Structure formats: structure tokens, C-alpha cells
Amino acid sequence: MTRMAVRDILIHPDPRLKTPATPVAEVTDELRALADDMLETMYAAPGIGLAAPQIGVMKRILVMDCVKDEEAPARPMVLINPSVVWSSDEMSIYEEGCLSIPDQYAEVERPSEVEVVWTGLEGEERRERFDGLWATCVQHEIDHLDGKLFIDYLKPLKRQMITRKMVKLKREKARA
Ligand code: K1U
Ligand code: ZN
């Protein structure tokens, strides 16, 4: 058995973060090992979600755990080939962050509730309605699978400002 590993998270701008990911054809042990690494990476960051393209794997798989209460049990979720099959008309605004755009936050408006269908780790079909932070997070992560970032919802000037900061950050990290 191989150990779980914390993978490196890509920082924007990176072409892989703008590229739609490919559907998963079959749930294999290799895919389950990838899911373990993604959860390990998400909890280590720390974050509440992570999509495979963020670690450079162009497959439609995401993980999330939006349990905020430290006393409550964790709820790690793995969604393979997720798709939103219903969205509420009611919208919510949440100040989003992104592990690929460190230390930058902005308000994004999205449907308050969504129903999502996906494949589980045993290849079974799963379906669930998400609300609150779970709904925001699952939409943010599915966007990653479609090559979309939360800054794509912002006005061009704000988006350019954040992108410039990230270019600078990457340059400094490369020099260190
Ligand atoms: O996809 C990602 O980059 C992960 C991202 C998910 C997300 C956050 C906020 C709104 C929508 C989606 C993060 O996890 S950013 C970090 C974060 O939100 C957090 C970190 C520690 C504790 C609590 C939250
Ligand atoms: Zn993100």
C-alpha cells in the first residue's frame, strides 16, 4: 500500500487552471489513491475544497469538507464527474477564497442551493442537494473542473489586479 501524499497546489496564472478537465472513465484503485492525496492536500492547506486540476491532474474529481464546527465530525466528500442538475432561483453572496489564489478574497454571487449528481468511490451514482457553504464550495470546485476561477466573476480591473499580485508572488517564490 502506498502512503497518502500532500501534493503541490498550482498557483494562478497557470494554463492548467484554465483548461476543462476530462471525465473519469472508470473508478480504479489509482483514482481512489488520488482522492486520498487530494483530501490530505486539502486538509493540510488548510482548505474546504480542492479540485484535481489544482494539483495538475486534469480529471473531473473534487473533494470537499465544509464542516466548520471543530467539535463536529469531519465529512470528507469525494465527487467524481459531478454535475449540477438543479439550481435555486434564490442567490447568495459569499466572500470566496481559492487555494490557487492565496490570500485574495472577493464576494461572488451564486445560486443558494444546488442539486448535484456524481459518481462515488465505489462507482455508484450519488445525488444530493447542497445549501449554505456546501453549495458555494461545490459550485466553486465544479468551476475548477470547467477551467473557471472565482476571479472570472469579478470586474476586469479587480481580476487584473489580483492576477498581477499572483504573478509577483510566483516570481518571488521561484527566486526563493
Ligand atoms: O478550491 C479551492 O481553492 C479551495 C477553497 C474553496 C472555497 C472557499 C471559499 C468559498 C468557496 C470555495 C478554499 O478552501 S480557500 C480556504 C478556505 O476557505 C478556508 C481555509 C481554512 C478554514 C476555513 C476555510
Ligand atoms: Zn479554488
Instruction: Compute φ and ψ for 31, nearest 5 degrees.
Output: -70, -40
Q: What are the structural domains of the chain?
A: 15-175 (3.90.45.10)
Going residue by residue through the chain, which has 176 residues, state the pLDDT in tens, using 9 for 90 and above: 678 899 999 999 999 999 999 999 999 999 999 999 999 999 999 999 999 999 999 999 999 999 989 899 999 999 999 999 999 999 999 999 999 999 999 999 999 999 999 999 999 999 999 999 999 999 999 999 999 999 999 999 999 999 999 999 999 999 98
Task: State yes or no: 144 annotated in a binding site.
Answer: yes
Query: Rounded to whole angstroms, how far apart are CA atoms 103 and 169?
Result: 11
Task: State yes or no: 12 annotated in a binding site.
Answer: no
On the CB side of 156, CA atoms within 13 Å amount to 0
C-alpha distance from residue 137 to each of 33, 63, 103, 130, 175 (Å) = 22, 10, 17, 9, 33
Atom of ligand 1 nearest to the CA of 47: 14
Given this model, what pLDDT does residue 51 score?
A: 99
From the CA of 44, the nearest ligand is 1
